[in-house]
Amino acid sequence: MKFLFDSDTWQEIYGSIRKNKVRTGITIIGVLWGIFLLVVLLGAARGLENSFNKAFGNFATNSVFVWTQSTDTPFKGFQKGRRFRLNMKDIQVLKSEYADKIKLLAPRNQTMNLIIKDFKSGSFKVSGDFPVLDQIQKKKLIYGRFLNQNDITSSAKVTVISEDIYKQLFEKDEMPIGENIKINSINYKVIGVYEPSNTIDFDGDTAYIPFSTFKKVYNTANNIDWMMITANDGIDIEQMESDVLLTLKNLHKVHPEDDRAFGSVNLGKEIAKFTGFLTGMQFLTWFVGIATLIAGVFAIGNILLITVKERTKEIGIRRALGATPKSIRQQIILESVFLTTVAGMIGIILGATVLMIIDKFFGQGEDATLVNPTVNIPIILAAFTTLVVLGTLIGLIPAHMATVVKPIEALREE
C-alpha cells in the first residue's frame, strides 16, 4: 500500500495521463456519463414521487369513499332498480364491526345553496360534516378554526367557508370571523376561512356546517349522502373496501353480488396504479444507469487495453530498466481506479448540479412537477464503490496483458 502514498507513483500516472489526453478524456466521459445519468434519473424519479406524494399529501391515501346508487339484482322480495340511502345506523355498525381497522369515518351530507351576505351572493356547495373531516382531508385555515365537537353537540349555526366564498361575499380586508352570512335564508356565523387545496380535493368551494345542523335544517333525518373511510396503517385497503361493501349490502338487503347498488372509490387503489408506474420508472432508471455505468467501466478497460498495446514498447523499456511485473500492474490498475474515481466524482458533481437546476426551474412553487429531486448519499456511495471496484477489476486485464509478454517481445514492438 505504500506505493499509494508515493508521490512518484502519482507522477508516473500523471505522466501517462498527460500523454494520452484524448484517451483519458474519452474514458472519463464514458464513466462520467453513466454516473451522471444515474444521479439525474434517480433524482428526477424521486422528484416525481415527491410531487406525487405532495399532491396526495393532504389526503389520507388509504381511503375509500362509499355512496349508494340503485340495485341491479332483485333480492329478498325487492325488485331491481331500487333506490335506498346510507344512514347513521350503517355508520354505527361499521364503527363497531371494524373497530380495529377503521381509523377515521366521516359520514357526509351535501347540497347546493344560495349564500348571501348583505348585497352579495353566490351559489355554493354546502356540506354537513363532522370535525373528523379535517383529519381525512386537511384544511388549511387562513382565519379562525374548523368545526369542532361543540358545534356538533349544540347544532350551532356556524360555518367554515372557502377563501373564494369569502372573497365573493366580503369586502376586501374585511374580517370574516364572527360575521353572519345567510345560507338558504338562515343566518350562520362564519368561524373559519380555509385556503383552497392545491392538491386533489373532492369538495371544491364549500361552506362546511356541523353535521347535526345540516340534519335539522335540511330534514335529512338519519340519512347520509356518502361516507369517507380511512383505514389504519397496514390494513389492506382493498380487502377492507370489499368487506365494508358486503356489510352494507347485508344491512340494506342488497344481493351480495350486486355491483351497482353501491358506488365506491378506493383512493389506495388509484394511487397504487400510479405508484406502480413510479416503481417501474425507478427500476428503469436503475437499469439504464447501471447499464451505462458498466458500459463506461468496460470502456475504461477497453481503452486501457488499447493503451497497453500502444504502450507495449514503453512497458518493455521500463522492464528492461528494472520494472517488476508487480510495479507495472500496480501502475495500470491504479490508473484505472484513478480514472474511474475522478470520472465518478465529476459525474456525481455534475449530476447534483443538474438536479439543483431542475429543482430551481421545476421544483419550486405550488404546482411543481418535480419536488425536491434528490438522491440518497448511501445509494451514490454504493454506485461509486461499485464503480471503483469494477474499475480495479477491469484494470486487471490490461495489467495482466502488459506483463505476460517477454520484455524482448515488448521491446521489439514498433
Closer to another protein by CB, 22 or 321: give it.
321
Smallest gap from Cβ 395 to another protein, in A, equals 19
Closer to another protein by CB, 15 or 196: give it.
15
Closer to another protein by CB, 235 or 317: give it.
317
Cα 201 from Cα 139, distance rounded (Å):
10
Smallest gap from Cβ 403 to another protein, in A, equals 7
Closer to another protein by CB, 269 or 326: give it.
326
Smallest gap from Cβ 311 to another protein, in A, equals 10
| DSSP-assigned beta bridge partners for residue 36 | none
Which helix (H) or strand (E) is 167 found in, with range?
Answer: helix 163-169
Cα 289 from Cα 280, distance rounded (Å):
14
Smallest gap from Cβ 409 to another protein, in A, equals 9
Cα 151 from Cα 157, distance rounded (Å):
8
Give the DSSP letter string of 1-38.
-GGGG-HHHHHHHHHHHHHTHHHHHHHHHHHHHHHHHH
Those residues with Cβ within 8 angstroms of residue 158's Cβ, 6 or more apart along the chain or in another chain: 147, 151, 188, 189, 190, 191, 209, 210, 213
- Look up residue 205 and give its amino acid: D
Catalogue the E-assigned strands of 69-213: 86-87, 102-117, 120-129, 141-144, 158-162, 180-183, 186-194, 206-210
Give the DSSP letter string of 98-109.
TTTTEEEEEEEE
Per-residue cell: 93: 355498525
Closer to another protein by CB, 19 or 269: give it.
19
Smallest gap from Cβ 54 to another protein, in A, equals 56
Residue 403 CA: distances (Å) to CA of 1, 14, 51: 20, 21, 55
The binding site for another protein (CB under 8 A) comprises: 7-8, 11-12, 15-16, 18-19, 313-314, 317-327, 403, 406-408, 411
In 3D space, the residue among 179, 175, 145, 170 whose CA is nearest the CA of residue 160 turns out to be 145
Closer to another protein by CB, 14 or 277: give it.
14
- Look up residue 329 and give its amino acid: R
Smallest gap from Cβ 371 to another protein, in A, equals 51
Smallest gap from Cβ 7 to another protein, in A, equals 6
Closer to another protein by CB, 89 or 406: give it.
406
In 3D space, the residue among 62, 136, 164 whose CA is nearest the CA of residue 146 turns out to be 136
Closer to another protein by CB, 14 or 287: give it.
14
Smallest gap from Cβ 306 to another protein, in A, equals 17
